[in-house]
């Protein structure tokens, strides 16, 4: 039996009809207007209606950035769409004759990775999504971890430097400030300013006036020493965070997704080294695996669909 997954991002809504093996049967995509929550609702209703036509659909899962309540009905707060205590589930169920589940987008993506991607065969996994920010998901004993208020796992806001860089969350020193795509760009820009090893970065910056994540990604692929130095610094910070997460959560595997994870083993190598260097009780504590996520762009919709389907059958 099929389910529908919807992923509401900052610039587009992705939708897909997904079967039980995580395969996408059909998909759709529309632009979003963040300032028009009602227009987003209409688009979601339309897309679900169209993808359902002639299909046996049991549920739809909606993935969105932000804090979702523990009952998975209400969006407390969304950074992309201007929702504040929005009863999205009730609103959508009133317009569609279908069970609806609301899920945080990083959790949905993490669940897809656990069920159909790099996490298959494990029981306990931590996913870190290295995009503009750092998102996270925890699977413990085969269950997605949501937290007591539905806000887990905001892994990007683990504090790694007391009194460190101010974060968009209002606190200081979060790993998001040292391990995200935005942090990579900041480090790369600092290296471009510094000259020396950063000359390749400086050349890319000077062609367009400023560096982009795409430039840095391309230079990493080309083996530019400055871009590789920036990536190693990022990986070192992430690996140190992983050693703390190992103490708290003790996963069997850490999976890295998001745009920066395209660097593959070049990213995993410094992460692994810093994790081992800082692992509490090294030698006694079994060591986790490190892998790159396998479901790249589709993780959100596939995970949302699967969670919605499983939620229906769990009741």
Within residues 124-163, the interface with its own copies by CB under 8 A covers 124-125, 132-133, 136, 138, 140-141, 143, 145-163
Q: Which of 172, 259, 266, 296 binds its own copies (CB under 8 A)?
A: 172
What is d(CA 123, CA 135) in angstroms, rounded to the nearest whole number? 20
Question: Is 228 an interacting residue with respect to its own copies (CB under 8 A)?
Answer: yes
At closest approach, how far in Å is the CB of 98 from its own copies? 25
Least distance to its own copies, CB of residue 119, Å: 11
- Asked whether 101 and 295 are in contact (CB, 8 A), the reply is no
Q: CB under 8 A: which stretch of 18-26, 86-94, 241-249, 291-299 binds its own copies?
A: 241-249
Contact by Cβ (8 Å): 178, 160: yes
- Residue 12 or residue 149: which is nearer to its own copies going by CB? 149
Any idea what the Cα angle at residue 208 is, between residues 175 and 194, rounded to 5°?
Answer: 55
Which two three-digit tokens encode residue 170? 């209002």
119 binds its own copies (CB under 8 A): no
Write out the binding residues for its own copies, residues 59-98 only, by CB under 8 A: 67, 70, 76-77, 79, 82
Q: Which of 111, 126, 160 is nearest to 256 (CA)?
A: 126
**Closer residue to its own copies, CB minimum distance, 52 or 278:** 278
Touching its own copies, residues 174-213 (CB under 8 A) = 174, 187, 190-191, 194-199
**Burial class of 198 by CB neighbour count within 10 A (0 to 12, 13 to 18, 19+):** buried
Q: Among residues 25 and 248, whose Cβ is nearest to its own copies?
A: 248
Binding its own copies (rule: CB under 8 A), the pick from 279, 293, 299, 302 is: 279
Q: Does 169 bind its own copies (CB under 8 A)?
A: yes
Among 281, 313, 314, 315, binds its own copies (CB under 8 A): 281
Of 50, 222, 250, 297, the residue at the interface with its own copies (CB under 8 A) is 250
Q: How far is the CB of 26 from its own copies (least distance, A)?
A: 33
Rule CB under 8 A: which of 1-60 touch its own copies? Answer: none
Task: Choose one: 1-9, 15-23, 42-50, 251-259; the region binding its own copies (CB under 8 A).
Answer: 251-259
268 is a contact residue toward its own copies (CB under 8 A):
no
Tell me the C-alpha distance between 57 and 62, whole Å.
Answer: 14
Give 57 or 111: the residue with its C-beta nearer to its own copies: 111
307 binds its own copies (CB under 8 A): no
C-alpha distances in Å from residue 150, one per residue of 71, 136, 145, 146, 173: 8, 13, 9, 5, 23
Collapsing DSSP to helix, strand or coil, 138 comes out as strand
Chain centroid offset of residue 10 CA? 13
Complex with its own copies: residue 27 or 225, whichever CB lies closer: 225
Let me know if 140 is exposed, middle or buried by CB neighbors in 10 A (0-12, 13-18, 19+): middle
- Residue whose CB is less far from its own copies, 76 or 93: 76
- Alpha-helix runs per DSSP H in the chain: 37-52, 88-95, 105-116, 176-179, 181-194, 199-208, 213-222, 225-249, 265-278, 299-314
């Amino acid at each position: 039996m099929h389910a529908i997954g919807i992923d509401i991002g900052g610039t587009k809504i992705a939708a897909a009809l997904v079967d039980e093996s995580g395969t996408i049967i059909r998909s759709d995509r529309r632009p979003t207007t963040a300032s028009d929550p009602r227009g987003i609702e209409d688009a979601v209703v339309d897309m679900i209606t169209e993808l359902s036509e002639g299909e046996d659909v049991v549920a739809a899962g909606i993935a969105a950035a932000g804090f979702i309540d523990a009952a998975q009905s209400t969006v407390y707060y969304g950074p992309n769409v201007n929702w504040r205590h929005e009863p999205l589930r009730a609103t959508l169920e009133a317009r569609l004759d279908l069970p609806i589940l609301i899920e945080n987008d990083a959790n949905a993506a993490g669940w897809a990775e656990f069920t159909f991607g790099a996490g298959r065969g494990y029981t306990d996994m931590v996913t870190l999504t290295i995009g503009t920010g750092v998102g996270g998901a925890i699977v413990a004993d085969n269950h997605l971890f949501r937290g007591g208020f539905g806000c887990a796992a905001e892994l990007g806001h683990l504090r790694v430097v007391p009194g460190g860089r101010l974060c968009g969350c209002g606190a200081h020193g979060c790993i998001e400030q040292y391990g995200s795509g935005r942090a990579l760009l900041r480090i790369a820009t600092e290296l471009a300013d510094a000259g020396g090893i950063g000359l390749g970065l400086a050349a890319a910056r000077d062609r367009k006036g400023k560096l982009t994540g795409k430039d840095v990604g391309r230079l990493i692929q080309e083996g530019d020493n400055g871009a590789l130095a920036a990536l190693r610094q990022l990986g070192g910070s992430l690996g140190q965070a992983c050693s703390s997460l190992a103490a708290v959560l003790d996963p069997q595997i850490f999976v890295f997704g998001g745009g920066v994870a395209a660097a593959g083993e070049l990213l995993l190598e410094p992460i692994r080294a810093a994790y081992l260097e800082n692992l509490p009780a090294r030698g006694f504590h079994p060591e986790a695996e490190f892998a790159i996520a396998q479901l790249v762009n589709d993780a959100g919709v596939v995970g949302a669909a699967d969670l919605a389907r499983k939620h229906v059958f769990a009741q």
